[in-house]
Structure 1
Amino acid sequence: MEAYLHDNPQIKSIRVAAADLNGQPRGKRIARRYADKAIAEGTRFPYSVLNLDIWGEDIDDSPLVFEAGDPDGILMPTERGFVPMPWLDAPTALLPIWMFHHDGRPYDGDPRQALARVVARYGERGLTPVVATEMEFYLIDDRGRELRVPPSPRSGKRRHQAEILAMRQLDAWDNFFTALYDACEAMDIPADTTISEAGPGQFEINLMHQADALKAADDAWLFKIAVKGLARQHGFAASFMAKPYPDYSGNGLHTHFSVLDAGGNNIFDDRRAGGAARLGHAIAGCIAAMPGSMLVFAPHAGSYDRLVPGAHAPTGIAWAHENRTTALRVPSGSPAARRIEHRVAGGDINPYLFLAAVLGAALNGMEDEATPPAPITGNAYDKDLAQLPASWAEAIEAFDQSPEIVRIFAPEIRRNFLATKRQELRYMGELSKDEQQDLYLDTV
């Protein structure tokens, strides 16, 4: 890490930041001359900082605050090291950090530690999850009272129609996407294909699969920060809100995952002995945990606007082969690349909690050798299926009561996440729809 600063003498400012339970970066600005101390000794801030609500406020009656004296944890650099922040005017580097106790134990209230806990469970069984993410977002002009698509930098026109796979949309925003790809390259984020999506000013960028779930979550978290920062630099906003426009499709965040054994073989490969069975076990685990995981997949008041029938987001609990109306899809293709696509989550999630929930659920099913229901065929919206929790309040209670969630997440992070979401639910009712929209536009 010291080598990065040595090789980049232009860096004037350092940020250190960790993800809180809502995925918000929390941290400090540090003078470059003191960066060595942050690398070697870490930095400190209260445990409670990773348990703030969406407004950045303490949780009422949290045992981390007055009851405990609001003590500090130790935040050490992750294995990621420094990444540049090219959307800022001054040359700046971000050092991602995560939280530990003073005796070196991981702090169980840190969402990155929650994912590390799940990855360790895989490692104990000689297994490695391989993960890719699909990141959907809108480019938005938020200068007026209503959100609008920004005017095209090329034509000056606002196009308010669907633009699925429209090349002219990619061309219109070429300067922004060129800057974004340059940033991803500098930040070691494996950005692959970009497409224009169904909504006006909506795009999707795929982040390539990799056999490091922690890095995949880091990439998704850093990607969201970079997209929003670069959009502001270009004169508009970018939003991963689940449903910024009531009349257009929402933003999803899908993940594709498979699992490798110690020999590097995909255990879902259905040409190999037991491959189809292991794939089924993982699907069964994901289905069993889906109701309890809904609070992770749809963590905000506006998240549930996306989850309505016929809106390209799942509402029923089912799986299928090559079917995008279901919550779980098994894509076609080479058996060696057999994988599960999990399609429930919105773009407004915390990537660490999201991947912990998905991968933890799949491992639960594999450990139990659980049997999945039969795959469906046809339109899932027309089927009589068990339904996902349809409201924030239902999802909170499902998370609280879920035995599957108990197996995936440590007690402290479950307690903190529930307290956060219950406080947000209580206070969100005081805001108008417009005030909620303003809040989420600049946060999630």
Structure 2
Amino acid sequence: MSWLEENPHIRTIRVAAADLNGIARGKRVPTRFAQKVETDGTRFPLSVLNLDIWGEDIDDSPLVFESGDPDGVLRPTERGFVPMPWLGSPTALLPLWMYRESGAPFDGDPRHALARVQARARDMGLTPVVATEMEFYLVDDSGKDIRVPPSPRSGKRRPGAEVLSLRALDAWDIFFTDLYDACEAMDIPADTAISEAGLGQFELNLVHQPDALKAADDAWLFKLLVKGLARKHGFAASFMAKPYPDYAGNGMHMHFSMLDKDGRNIFDDGGARGTDALRHAIAGCLQAVPGSSILFAPHGNSYDRLVPDAHAPTGLCWAYENRTSAIRVPGGAPVARRIEHRVAGGDVNPYLMVAGILGAALNGLEDGAEPPDPITGNAYDLDLPQMPSDWGSAIDAFEASPEIARIFPEELIRNLVLTKRQELHYYRELSETEKVDLYLDTV
């Protein structure tokens, strides 16, 4: 029996794929025609996965007028149907990814980019194990300026940040209870939730997965869910990198380890130091950060987060148990030895972020690369190599990076560069209010 037959209450279907900005692009389909999409797929122009943040065509893209704006064929991912509990009518989403007419994967699809990295790891006899930490703000955007919404419990607005406060969590208990129920229904492995350092900011961890595609799917679907569910509750949720100038930005930290063909963690040496493979992977990640910064900070607002003393890394370094570093090796049992990559903001495309980090680690493992010595103390006080500090420099570094050329297909690199240069051009014309309005809901 199919999923739709098991869920006859579903009244409408959405079919969608992630574009380069992680925005869901798709169609609404009557339920009675959904099985045809499930079996045969559907068609969008290839250029739909290469729109800018406003949903506009890229002016000089070879996917549009130069080639006649041809269609791609979108087929369901292995995820299958998932409910969309934030909508008023019983609705399900069928996630898709894009292929060319020939049946070959479309190299401009970010999910295919991650599948390519995962296949590379498999060819090396490795299985990445991936988890993400999802930070977001709950906001009232009904007025001229955004602010924290009134608590459904007390009707009051919480005046400041309360790190790890049960009172702050309890104030939003109805929302978080609905969120956990929805994650269960959507097979998103939601774990611990905490209040964070910002005004109305929270973090929810997604449990590690021995399938990088599943982990990225979870993060992408979680962002759709949180934003949609917040609107259902009468406020907004935002993964924007820096919604408030005076409070911490939203990050999306990624934890990962690598299992060999026997299921053993190749970073575990039985002690706190970790193996040579751990250091090779760290070295690969550090070497790739300048070129991959556009994956971790993809928007104009992203660079407001990457400033000293703001709970986000700026210098290229690594350390054991040190949250001021870009790459952190957490403590705990050696069997769980892993790398925490702390650079990405909450506004990223999860598929490109995960692909960029894992691909860089594989580069380091292939090369036997050695990192600098781990730092101690406050990374902000040290004289360290810096990642690109502005959007334009990050775009240029991505285009020219030899590390990126080993990770991503040429077509995706070209498409992303064209997209980001167009966005940068028009972003310069916006007021500060327009910049917030642009990113608050979209990313």
Task: Give the TM-score taking structure 2 as reference length.
Answer: 0.99
8 Å CA contact 2:183–2:189 kept in 1: the answer is yes
Q: CA deviation at 1:400?
A: 1.1
Whole-Å separation in 1 of the counterparts to 2:38 and 2:155: 46
Map of 1:299-378 to 2, 5 A cutoff? 299-378=298-377
Deviations 1:261-292 (A, max 9, x none): 000000000229x9610001000000000000
Consecutive unaligned residues of structure 2, counting only runs of 5 or more, are: none
Q: CA deviation at 1:160?
A: 2.2
Whole-Å separation in 2 of the counterparts to 1:65 and 1:207: 37
Whole-Å separation in 1 of the counterparts to 2:49 and 2:138: 28
Asked if 1:107 is matched to 2:106, the reply is yes
What corresponds to 1:278 in structure 2? 277
Whole-Å separation in 2 of the counterparts to 1:334 and 1:51: 43
Map of 1:160-175 to 2, 5 A cutoff? 160-175=159-174
Whole-Å separation in 1 of the counterparts to 2:80 and 2:363: 32
Asked if 1:117 is matched to 2:116, the reply is yes
Whole-Å separation in 1 of the counterparts to 2:52 and 2:354: 21
8 Å CA contact 2:274–2:337 kept in 1: the answer is no
Whole-Å separation in 2 of the counterparts to 1:235 and 1:209: 31
Deviations 1:111-146 (A, max 9, x none): 000000000000101110000000000000000000
Give the match's secondary structure for 2:72: strand
Q: CA deviation at 1:102?
A: 1.6
Whole-Å separation in 2 of the counterparts to 1:422 and 1:168: 44
Give the match's secondary structure for 1:207: strand
What corresponds to 1:189 in structure 2? 188
Give the aligned CA root-mean-square deviation in angstroms. 0.9
Q: CA deviation at 1:332?
A: 0.7
Map of 1:232-271 to 2, 5 A cutoff? 232-271=231-270
Consecutive unaligned residues of structure 1, counting only runs of 5 or more, are: none
Q: Which amino acid aligns with 1:244?
A: P
Whole-Å separation in 1 of the counterparts to 2:97 and 2:359: 20
Q: Which amino acid aligns with 1:323?
A: N
Aligned length: 442
Whole-Å separation in 2 of the counterparts to 1:69 and 1:210: 40
Asked if 1:289 is matched to 2:288, the reply is yes
Whole-Å separation in 2 of the counterparts to 1:147 and 1:205: 22
Deviations 1:44-76 (A, max 9, x none): 000000000000000002100001000000000
8 Å CA contact 2:113–2:355 kept in 1: the answer is yes
What corresponds to 1:40 in structure 2? 39
What corresponds to 1:429 in structure 2? 428
Q: CA deviation at 1:162?
A: 1.3
Q: Which amino acid aligns with 2:132?
A: T
Deviation larger for 101-110 or 17-26:
101-110
What corresponds to 1:227 in structure 2? 226
Asked if 1:78 is matched to 2:77, the reply is yes
Deviation larger for 151-160 or 50-59:
151-160
What corresponds to 2:404 in structure 1? 405
Map of 1:45-64 to 2, 5 A cutoff? 45-64=44-63
Whole-Å separation in 2 of the counterparts to 1:18 and 1:266: 33
Q: CA deviation at 1:200?
A: 1.4
Q: CA deviation at 1:155?
A: 1.2
Q: Which amino acid aligns with 2:367?
A: D
What corresponds to 2:438 in structure 1? 439
What corresponds to 1:90 in structure 2? 89
Q: CA deviation at 1:177?
A: 0.4
8 Å CA contact 2:60–2:418 kept in 1: the answer is no
Asked if 1:154 is matched to 2:162, the reply is no
Whole-Å separation in 1 of the counterparts to 2:56 and 2:269: 49
Deviations 1:20-42 (A, max 9, x none): 00000000001111111101110
Give the match's secondary structure for 2:203: strand
What corresponds to 2:134 in structure 1? 135
Give the match's secondary structure for 2:442: coil
Whole-Å separation in 1 of the counterparts to 2:44 and 2:160: 46
Whole-Å separation in 2 of the counterparts to 1:246 and 1:35: 45
